[in-house]
Structure 1
Amino acid sequence: MSEPITLQKPPETGPVPGVDPQIAQRRVTPRLRPWRWLASAIVLVVLAQFVAGIFTNTHYEWQKFWPFFTRESILDGVVVTLQVVALSAASGLVLGVIVALGRLSTNPLIAGLAWAYVWFFRALPLPLLLIITFNFSYFYPRLGVGIPWGPVFAELQTSALTPLTIGVIALGLNEAAYAAEVIRGGVLSVEHGQIEAANALGLSKARQLRRVVLPQALRSIVPAYGNQLIGLIKASSLVYYVSLLDLFGAVFVLESRHPESLVPILIVGAAWYLLLTAALSIVQFYVERYFARGSVHALPPTPVQRLRRLTVDSWARLAGVRLTRRGF
C-alpha cells in the first residue's frame, strides 16, 4: 500500500541580491493613460449626442418604422433577396472553383479559356449583364444538348425562364469570376515547400489539394470571399432590372405608393440590409475562427469575450485591482 501524499510548504526565498527590499515589495500598477481616457470620453459624448439626435428628431417618423418594417411586401422582398443571394453564392462558388482550377492548370487552352471568362465577366457592369441575360431568349430561343449538326437529346426554352432564374444566372456568372480570383489567390498563398513535401511523400494531386493546399488556402480565402458575399447582398438589389421584386424593389414600390412616408420606408430598407450584412459578418467571423486553429497561439476572442474582458479590465483599472483569474 502506497504512503499518503503530504503537501509541504515551499521554502521561503530570501531577498534578491542587489535589489532594495523596499523596491522589491512594491506592487506593480498599470500605467495611467489620461489622454486615452479623455479621448474615449469625448467619443462617448459625441456618440451619445448622435444617437439622441436620431431618436428625438421628428423627421425620422419612428412611429411608422415598425409597421413598414413588418409589412408583408417587405418581408416577401427579404425572402426573395435571401433566395437570390443563396442560389447565386452557391452557383458562383461551384463555378468559381472550376474556373480557378482552370486558371491554375498547366494546359494552355484551359488556362486561356478560364482567363477569358474572368476577364469578360469582370469587365461587364452588372446591370448590363442582367439586361443581356434578360434578353437572352431573343438571340437564342432554344438551348439544346446533342450531337453538332445532328440529333438533339435535351432542349430548353429560354423564354420560359423566370425572373428569379435570370437574376440567379447573371449574379452567379458574375460572382464566379470574382470567386475564381479569390480562390486562386488563396491557393497561390500556400508556401511552395508544403507542396514539395507532399510530392516527396508521394501524395496524389487530388490528395494534395484536399489535405495540404485547401486547409491552408482557406485561411486566406474565407475573409476575402466573405467580403465578396457581403457585396453580393448589395448587388442583389439590381435584380429589379429584370422585374424581380426583392427587398430593394419592395422598398421602391412602397415609397412610390406612400410618398409622404419616404424617410421611414428608406430607413426600413437600410435596416434590413444592415441586419443581413450583420448576420453574414457573424457567420464569417466564426468560420475564420474555425480555420485559424493551428495557425495562431490563441484563437481570437468572440465578441462576448471581448466585451467581458473590456468591461472587467476597465473596472479593475478604476478600482486599482489586479486581475489574476484565468480568462481575463
Structure 2
Amino acid sequence: MKAIPVRHYGRWISAVLVLALLGLLINAFATAKVHYSAIPDYIFDGTVVSGLGKTVLISLLAMLLGLVLGIVLAVMRLSKNPVTSSVAWVYIWFFRGTPVYVQLLLWFNLALIFPYINLGPIYRDEMSDFMTPFVAALLGLGLNEAAYMSEIVRAGIQSVDEGQTEAAHALGMSQGRTLRRIVLPQAMRVIVPPTGNEFINMLKTSSLAAGAAQYLELLRSTSDIGQTTGATVEMLFLAATWYLILTSIFSVGQFYLERHYARGSLRTLPLTPWQKIKVNLASFSNRPSGGVSA
C-alpha cells in the first residue's frame, strides 16, 4: 500500500492570503515617510539607556511591593476574622475599580490635600519634597498591582487540597508554618504563570508614569528626543523595540520559572527551546527519504 497524504487546499489558500496581507503591510511601512536609520542611531543613546534602566527599576520594585502586599491581602481575605477580611476586600475593590492612571495622578498631586507628611518622631517633611516622581510612580503602580496579586495568590492557595493543611496541623505545625512550608510551595505552580504575565504587563504599564507622575522612564525619554529632533514616530518605534526586547527576555525567564515549579506535578517537564531545536533537528535528519510502503 502506498500512503497518499490528504490535500488540504483550505490551508494553502489561507496561507497565501495571510502572506499577501503581510506583504501589503510590510510594503506600507517600507514606503512610509519614516526615517528608520534614526532608530539604530539612538538605540543606545545615554538618555534612552537611562530611561530604560528606570523602567526596569520601577517595574521590579513595584512588582515586589505588589507581590508582598498581595500575599498579605490574600491571607487577610482568607482569614476567618471578619474585620481583616473586610478591610482586604475593600482595598481590592477600590484599587481594582479605579484606573491606575487616576491613582498615579492622585499620588503625584497628594500635596494639594496634605501639605505635610507627619509620622511623628520617625519622619516629618513637606509632601511636595517627599512625593517625588519616583515615589509617586512606585506607590501608584505597586499598590494597584497588590490588588491583582492578592487575587492570584488567593486562587493559588485555594487550589491546594485542604487535606494538606489538615495533615500539617495533625503533625503539630502552626498555621503560619503550614502556609510557608506546605501551602505556598504547592500553590506556586498556580501563582507563577499569571504573576509572570502581570510583570510583563507592569513593564508596559510603567509608561503611564511618564504622563501622570512625570517620571523619566523609557517612553518619556524617547518622547523628549523625538520632540527635540523632530523624529517623533521614529522614537516611538524605538521605544516599542525596547519594550519588545524586555518582554522577550522576561518571558524566557518566566518559562524556566514555570518549568521549575512544575516538577512533581508533571510526568515529564516541558522541553526547553534548545531541547526542542535538537529534537526537531534529530527528527529531520532521521526522516526517511522514500514513501511509506507495505
TM-score, with length taken from structure 2: 0.87
Question: 1:274 and 1:183 mapped to 2: Cα distance?
Answer: 27
Shift of 1:61: 3.3
The separation in 2 between residues aligned to 1:189 and 1:124, in whole angstroms, is 28
- Report the Cα offset of residue 110 of structure 1: 0.6
Q: Does 1:157 align with 2:157?
A: no
CA separation of 1:64 and 1:319: change in aligned 2, threshold 3 A: farther
Q: Call closer, same or farther: CA 1:165–1:40 in 2, change over 3 Å.
A: farther
Match of 2:268 in 1: 298
Partner in structure 2 of residue 250 of structure 1: 221
The alpha-carbon deviation at position 258 of structure 1 amounts to 2.9
Alignment pair present for 1:139 and 2:108: no
Q: Structure 1 278/156 Cα, relative in aligned 2: closer, same or farther at 3 Å? A: same
1:179 equivalenced with 2:152 (yes/no)? no
Task: Give the letter for the 1:46 counterpart.
Answer: L
Could you say what secondary structure the match of 2:118 adopts?
strand
Question: Which of 244, 249, 256 is the aligned partner of 1:274?
Answer: 244
**Structure 1 residue 142 displacement after superposition:** 2.4
Residue pair 2:108, 2:136 contacting (<8 A) in 1 also: yes
CA contact (8 A) 2:114 2:127 kept: yes
Distance 2:288 2:12 in 1: 16
What residue number does 1:221 align with? 191
Matched, 1:81 2:55: yes
Does the 8 Å contact 1:30/1:317 carry over to 2?
no
Cα distance, 1:312 vs structure 2? 2.8
Counterpart residue number, 2:71 = 97
Report deviation, 1:306: 1.3
Would the aligned equivalents of 2:63 and 2:142 in 1 still touch at CA under 8 Å?
Answer: yes
Q: 1:50 to 1:70 in 2, by over 3 A?
A: farther
Report the Cα distance in structure 2 between the residues aligned to 1:74 and 1:258, rounded to whole angstroms: 14
RMSD: 3.1
C-alpha distance in 2 between matches for 1:52 and 1:122: 37
TM-superposed CA distance for 1:98, in Å, is 1.2
* Alignment check: 8 A CA contact 2:226 2:234 kept: no
1:65-89: per-residue Cα shift (whole Å, max 9, x none)?
2102122221111011111111111
Matching residue's letter, 2:239: G
**Aligned mates of 2:62, 2:221 — CA distance in 1:** 20
Percentage of pairs with the same residue? 36
Deviations 1:283-304 (A, max 9, x none): 1111101101111111111111
**Residue aligning to 1:326:** none
Deviations 1:229-279 (A, max 9, x none): 1111111001112111211111222222233x3343222111100011111
Q: Secondary structure of the equivalent of 1:143? A: strand
Distance 1:83 1:274 in 2: 17
Matched, 1:69 2:39: no
Deviation at 1:131, TM superposition (A): 0.8
For residues 216 and 172 of structure 1, the distance between their equivalents in structure 2, rounded to whole angstroms, comes to: 25
CA–CA distance in 2 between the matches of 1:220 and 1:99? 17
1:157, distance to aligned residue in structure 2 (A): 3.1
Return the offset for 1:50: 4.4
The reply on whether 1:46 has 2:16 as its aligned counterpart is: no
In structure 2, which of residues 81, 91, 94 is the aligned counterpart of residue 107 of structure 1? 81
Q: Give the Cα–Cα distance (whole angstroms) in 2 for the partners of residues 124 and 257 of structure 1.
A: 35
Q: Which residue of 2 aligns with 1:116?
A: 90
Q: Distance in 2 between matches of 1:133 and 1:196?
A: 43
Q: Distance in 2 between matches of 1:88 and 1:168?
A: 5
**Number of paired residues?**
289
Higher relative contact order (CA 8 A, sep 6+): 2
Q: What displacement does 1:30 show? A: 10
Q: 5+ residue gaps in structure 1?
A: 1-25, 147-151, 322-328
Shift of 1:33: 6.6
Aligned residues of 1:65 and 1:264 also touching (Cα < 8 A) = yes
The reply to whether residue 262 of structure 1 matches residue 232 of structure 2 is yes
